[in-house]
């Protein structure tokens, strides 16, 4: 079951690194050319595919904790959290450098990788919750260790989607803050 959870978490990392459904910024277009030309429109969130993929990734958080913790720490869960965090960081850097944008308008192709880090925030919050719960495995019941990281990830993802177009995307579509 832990392997299935790990596979779903890596799928969730890929899902978070490639913000399917959300609009993205074109780094080769200047911010003063208008926000409409600088943004690549997404195909929409809260669709069946979006919900299915988000729930699959959330299920990965629920499958990781072991049924019977023999000591205070759930070492397997901590190892899965570390591996998932490394995979997520690698995917963020890969997605930031993978775009063939031509000549970028700003140094380091702003907003890459900063938008990827913000998009991965719910995933990292779920991993942090999973790691904290694993450190107190003998004191926290299994249902709480399974459902809390899953709930943190789901609520964080929905909140991120709700604020993305209105507040975060215009920030990333503007010039860099430095």
pLDDT tens for residues 75-90? 888 999 999 999 999 9
Measure the CA–CA gap between 13 and 141, rounded to whole angstroms. Answer: 26
Residue 100 above 60 pLDDT? no
Measure the CA–CA gap between 1 and 6, rounded to whole angstroms. Answer: 9
pLDDT recorded at residue 14: 80
pTM, to two decimals: 0.89
Residue 69 above 80 pLDDT? no
Sign, Cα dihedral of 46, 165, 115, 101 = positive
Question: Per this entry, what is the length of the chain?
Answer: 178
Whole-number average pLDDT of the chain = 85
pLDDT recorded at residue 5: 84
Token pair for 105: 């308008």
* Cα-based distances in Å from 126 to 9, 47, 93, 109, 173: 10, 22, 20, 28, 27
Residue 158 above 90 pLDDT? yes
What mean pLDDT do residues 90-118 have?
80
Measure the CA–CA gap between 150 and 110, rounded to whole angstroms. Answer: 31
pLDDT recorded at residue 63: 87
pLDDT tens for residues 3-51? 888 888 888 888 777 777 888 888 877 777 677 778 888 888 888 888 8
Q: Which stretches within the chain are classed as H helix?
A: 2-17, 35-38, 48-63, 75-98, 114-119, 121-135, 142-163, 169-173
pLDDT recorded at residue 7: 86
pLDDT recorded at residue 26: 80
């Amino acid at each position: 079951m832990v392997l299935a959870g790990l596979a779903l978490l890596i799928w969730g990392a890929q899902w978070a690194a490639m913000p399917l459904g959300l609009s993205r910024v074109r780094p080769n277009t200047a911010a003063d050319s208008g926000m409409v030309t600088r943004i690549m429109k997404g195909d929409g969130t809260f669709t069946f595919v979006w919900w299915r993929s988000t729930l699959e990734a959330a299920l990965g958080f629920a499958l990781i904790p072991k049924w019977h913790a023999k000591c205070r720490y759930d070492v397997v869960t901590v190892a899965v959290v570390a591996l998932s965090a490394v995979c997520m960081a690698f995917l963020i850097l890969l997605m930031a450098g993978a775009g063939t944008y031509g000549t970028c308008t700003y140094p380091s192709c702003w907003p890459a990788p900063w938008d990827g880090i913000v998009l991965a925030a719910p995933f990292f919050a779920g991993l942090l919750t999973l790691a904290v719960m694993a450190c107190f495995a003998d004191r926290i019941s299994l249902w709480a260790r399974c459902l809390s990281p899953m709930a943190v990830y789901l609520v964080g993802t929905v909140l991120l989607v709700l604020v993305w177009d209105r507040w975060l995307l215009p920030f990333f579509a503007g010039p860099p803050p430095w």
